[in-house]
């Protein structure tokens, strides 16, 4: 066995690779040598049709077209919030799942959008126009923001119906303009019950072996003319240029797999100073705060199903981050990630100092970054409160948004903050109104009170005036929640168009408080702009000198743009004397099943398993239905919902998680601990066919 494991490790080591490759880099890879049965043009072809055209970004997650009638597969957890919004205690789709057996039964997923890439181009020169090495840091950030906005506006004017955005690939250095088609009428088609889609709940989250059926189907619609349109009964299913072929035979251990998806953020090019800030300040602050908030919300919903349902999506997303940060903190504790960085920085410093010209040009880079992080640490407590205070309470979020909107409306559209530009107002209003669906008075009061108390305890040098001028925090919070108007949908809709004067006349205490807080948040933003501007200048130089030193090109950190990564179906050794194999099966679902809500497997699944009714989805060697697969690809948050593809580019799984040990790979990828998890397509199809009896979806995907 030992020998086999060693051999497998060696085999896979040959293939495993760090890398979230942007579209521009794919053609540089020798795909044939890595075992691909397709070439780079099949994956990305700017002048033709390729797999990229079948990849979608759905509300921050990744997703895939799987039929020519706009059918999309993504994760259950990616649509969870939407499912919660359309559920009631009587019609509880979160608990029971939902299947639309006709197109008419599909439920509009308000607020969800699907984005497809149309094209991209390098706009670094235009973005950095007007900036020199001596530009004031605040000015630098402002110029970049302004240039970016005008490039976006011009692109959207040139291509009506498309949305444009600029992505920073290397800070201060490389910028890419992406043009997207954004589909706005998305509907729920098939959502498994929570006991399948979130099997194992938080216990199993970020854990292998895993048995979660984390998948859902949705459908994208467009207007009768084929153009993007908001929901209307007369809309038609969208016809994508390309959809993925779903291969019901899946893959096996050691097979090559790859992913096309939208990884959110990684920090591998950051310095040790940033990593120390993460380890010492940001991660522990957020982890503790989330843990406390989750405990309060769980207690509030314990004996009240309606409250539990209303808070479920918020608990889920806070818990996801909380456990991820615990994993990262453990990683920092156990692995020499910061030490390795420091060593690299020492060597780089020696390289810089070895040449006079280099020293002159790059001598200030690392010391400069260090002093920015010293500044960041000096007011981190206050900054943490100011970053979190608005979001701590739904009422304060709404009050603050209304006030900001009234302020921003006075400016010409192009000068407003992006969220308040005319094109984004429908989504902004939608967000406000849907946040009310998870509003809970007890929780909102508690969270507001807690953060105000924290704020009032800040050291004098970091105090927040708007909070200090509240005489009695308890009484203030009571007055805010005595008869709040911002919980009334009709009032919020009306207030959405109010001017500053009209808002003032409402004499609403939370709007007043948001107004008092605003200049302090603004001031902090200016301080942040200065720091970002300085880091922007220094980071660009850091990349230059590192490239000169290592004589190689770098892959930019993840930034929510489309990337490809590849690897192998492969187990791992999480701890001494333990080896995890990479395919879990229905047997494991049965082993974990119990009456606990997280493990309460539907009766139908238990019955099918008892009959060994696996249909065509049985893995021959395992003699069972594969449920989840594990691989050494390079993924992060945002890759949730990504298609996992075989060497031919056929869909064989849907990525949804990483292992606990792999959460640290946002800072440093390593083939020994970086493992990601997908739901196996065989489990998806088995559920659809046997459990949901929704064979019509298999027909639509061309499977039967
Ligand atoms: N489950 C993860 C997420 O929440 C996916 C990942 O980070 O690997 O985004």
658 C-beta closer than 6 A to ligand 1: yes
Q: Please give the pLDDT value at position 652.
A: 98
From 324, 629, 634, the mutation candidate for ligand 1 (largest count of ligand atoms within 8 A of CB) is: 324
Residue carrying the six token digits 């918020």: 314
3-state secondary structure 347-386: HHHHHHHCCHHHHHHHCCHHHHHHHHHHHHHHCHHHHHHH
Residue minimizing CA distance to atom 8 of ligand 1: 657
Q: Which residues contact 146 (CB under 8 A, 6 or more apart)?
A: none
The neighbour count for residue 90, using CB atoms within 10 Å, is 5
Catalogue the E-assigned strands of 5-59: 21-22, 55-58
Domain ranges of the chain: 2-113+184-261+562-700, 116-182, 391-543
H or E element: which one contains 290? helix 283-301
Mean pLDDT for the chain overall: 95
How sure is the predictor about 134, in pLDDT bands with cuts at 50, 70 and 90? confident
Q: Does the beta carbon of 656 sit less than 6 angstroms from any atom of ligand 1? A: yes
CA 400 / ligand 1 centre spacing (Å): 30
- Evaluate: CB of 639 within 6 angstroms of ligand 1: yes
Look at residue 550 and give its three-state secondary structure: helix
Q: Is the dihedral of CA 22, 23, 28, 33 positive or negative?
A: positive
Phi, psi of 499 (to 5 degrees): -85, 175
Strand partners, 138: none
| CA 185 centroid distance within chain | 21
Decide: 640 in ligand 1 pocket, CB within 6 A: yes
242: helix, strand or coil: coil
pLDDT at 698 over 50: yes
Q: For ligand 1, say whether the CB of 87 is within 6 Å of any of its atoms.
A: no
Q: Each residue of 264-309: pLDDT tens digit?
A: 999 999 999 999 999 999 999 999 999 999 999 999 999 999 999 9
Q: How many other β-carbons are positioned within 10 Å of the β-carbon of residue 40?
A: 19
What are 3-34's pLDDT values in tens digits? 444 444 444 444 446 899 999 999 999 999 99
SS3 label, residue 471? coil
The percentage of the chain sitting over the pLDDT mark of 90, rounded to a whole number, equals 94
CB atoms within 10 A of CB 551: 6
* pLDDT band (50, 70, 90) for residue 111: confident
Whether omega for the bond prior to residue 209 falls within 30 degrees of 0, making it cis, is yes
CA of 177 to the centre of ligand 1 (A): 26
DSSP conformational letter for 661: G
Query: What is the rounded distance in angstroms from the CA atom of residue 67 to the CA atom of residue 412?
Result: 43
pLDDT value at position 17? 64
Gyration radius from the chain CA atoms: 26
| Residue nearest atom 3 in ligand 1 by C-alpha distance | 637
Report the distance separating Cα 104 and Cα 285, nearest Å: 46
| Smallest CA separation from ligand 1 atom 9, residue | 637
| 133: confidence class by pLDDT, cuts 50, 70, 90 | confident
Q: Which residues contact 621 (CB under 8 A, 6 or more apart)?
A: none
Structure tokens at 657: 């998680």
Residues 6+ apart with CB under 8 A from 685: 246, 248, 617, 698, 703
Q: Is the CB of 637 under 6 A from ligand 1?
A: yes
Is the pLDDT assigned to residue 549 strictly greater than 80? yes
Helix (H, G, I), strand (E, B) or coil at 66: coil
User: CATH code for 2-113+184-261+562-700?
Assistant: 2.40.10.120
Surface-to-core class of residue 82, CB atoms within 10 Å of its CB (0-12 exposed, 13-18 middle, 19+ buried)? buried
Check: CB of residue 417 under 8 Å from CB of residue 287: no
Consecutive H or E run containing 660:
none
User: pTM, whole model, 2 decimals?
Assistant: 0.93
Which residue, 365, 419, 347, 25, is CA-closest to 172? 365
What does the DSSP 8-state code read for residue 485?
S
Q: Whose CA is nearest to atom 1 of ligand 1?
A: 657
Ligand 1 pocket: which of 639, 663, 676, 677 to mutate (most atoms within 8 A of CB): 639
Count of CB atoms situated within 10 Å of the CB of 369:
22
The position carrying tokens 């139908």 is 604
């Amino acid at each position: 066995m030992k020998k086999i494991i060693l051999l497998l490790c060696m085999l896979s080591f040959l293939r495993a690779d760090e890398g979230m490759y942007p579209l521009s880099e794919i053609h540089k890879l020798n795909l044939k040598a890595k075992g691909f049965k397709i070439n780079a043009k099949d994956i990305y072809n700017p002048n033709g049709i390729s797999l990229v055209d079948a990849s979608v970004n759905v509300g921050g997650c990744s997703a895939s077209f799987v039929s020519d009638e706009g059918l999309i597969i993504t994760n259950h957890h990616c649509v969870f919030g939407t499912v919660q919004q359309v559920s009631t205690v009587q019609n509880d789709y979160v608990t029971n799942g939902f299947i639309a057996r006709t197109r008419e039964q599909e439920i509009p997923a308000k607020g969800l959008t699907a984005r497809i890439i149309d094209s991209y181009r390098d706009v670094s020169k235009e973005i950095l126009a007007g900036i020199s090495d001596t530009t004031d840091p605040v000015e630098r950030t402002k110029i970049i923001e302004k240039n970016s906005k005008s490039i976006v506006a011009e692109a959207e004017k040139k291509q009506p119906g498309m949305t444009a955005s600029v992505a920073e690939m290397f800070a201060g250095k490389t910028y890419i303009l992406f043009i997207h088609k954004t589909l706005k009428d998305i509907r729920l088609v098939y959502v498994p019950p929570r006991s399948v889609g979130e099997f194992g709940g938080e216990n199993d989250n970020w854990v292998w072996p895993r048995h979660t059926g984390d998948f859902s189907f949705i459908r994208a619609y467009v207007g009768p003319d084929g153009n993007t349109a908001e929901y209307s009964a007369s809309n038609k299913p969208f016809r994508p240029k390309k959809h993925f072929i779903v291969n019901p035979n899946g893959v096996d251990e050691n097979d090559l797999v790859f992913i096309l998806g939208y990884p959110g953020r990684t920090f591998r090019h950051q310095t040790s100073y940033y990593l120390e800030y993460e380890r010492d300040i940001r991660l522990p602050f957020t982890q503790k705060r989330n843990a406390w908030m989750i405990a309060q919300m769980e207690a509030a919903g314990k004996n009240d199903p309606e409250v539990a349902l209303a808070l479920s999506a918020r608990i889920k997303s806070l818990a996801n981050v909380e456990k991820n940060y615990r994993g990262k903190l453990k990683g920092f504790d156990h692995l020499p990630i910061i030490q390795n960085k420091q060593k690299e920085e020492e060597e780089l410093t020696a390289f810089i100092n070895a040449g006079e010209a280099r020293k002159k040009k790059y001598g200030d880079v690392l010391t400069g970054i260090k002093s920015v992080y010293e500044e960041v640490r000096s007011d981190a407590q206050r900054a943490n409160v100011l970053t979190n205070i608005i979001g701590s309470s739904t009422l304060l979020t709404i009050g603050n948004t209304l006030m900001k909107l009234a302020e921003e409306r006075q400016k010409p559209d192009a000068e407003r903050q992006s969220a308040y530009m005319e094109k984004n107002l429908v989504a902004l209003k939608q967000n406000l109104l849907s946040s009310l669906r998870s509003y809970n008075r007890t929780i909102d009061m508690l969270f507001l009170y807690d953060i105000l108390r924290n704020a009032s305890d800040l050291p004098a040098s970091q105090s927040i005036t708007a909070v200090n001028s509240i005489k009695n925090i308890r009484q203030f919070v009571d007055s805010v929640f005595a008869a709040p108007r911002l919980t009334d949908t009709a009032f919020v809709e009306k207030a959405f168009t109010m001017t500053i004067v009209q808002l003032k006349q409402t004499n609403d205490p939370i709007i007043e408080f948001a107004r008092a807080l605003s200049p302090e948040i603004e001031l902090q933003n200016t301080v942040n702009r200065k720091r970002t501007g300085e880091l922007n200048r220094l980071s660009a130089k850091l990349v230059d000198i590192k490239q000169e030193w290592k004589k190689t090109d770098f892959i930019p950190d993840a930034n929510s743009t489309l990337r490809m990564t590849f690897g192998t179906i492969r187990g791992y050794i999480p701890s001494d004397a333990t080896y995890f194999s990479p395919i879990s099966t229905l047997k494991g679902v049965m082993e974990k099943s119990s009456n606990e809500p997280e493990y309460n497997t539907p009766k139908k699944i238990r019955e099918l398993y008892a009959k060994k009714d696996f249909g065509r989805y049985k893995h021959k060697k395992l003699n069972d239905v594969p449920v989840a697969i594990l691989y050494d690809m390079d993924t992060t948050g945002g890759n949730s919902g990504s298609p996992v593809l075989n060497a031919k580019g056929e869909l064989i799984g849907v990525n949804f998680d990483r292992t606990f040990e792999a959460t640290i790979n946002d800072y440093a990828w390593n083939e020994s601990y970086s493992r990601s998890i997908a739901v196996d397509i065989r489990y998806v199809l088995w559920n659809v066919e046997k459990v949901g009896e929704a064979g019509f979806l298999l027909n639509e995907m061309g499977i039967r």
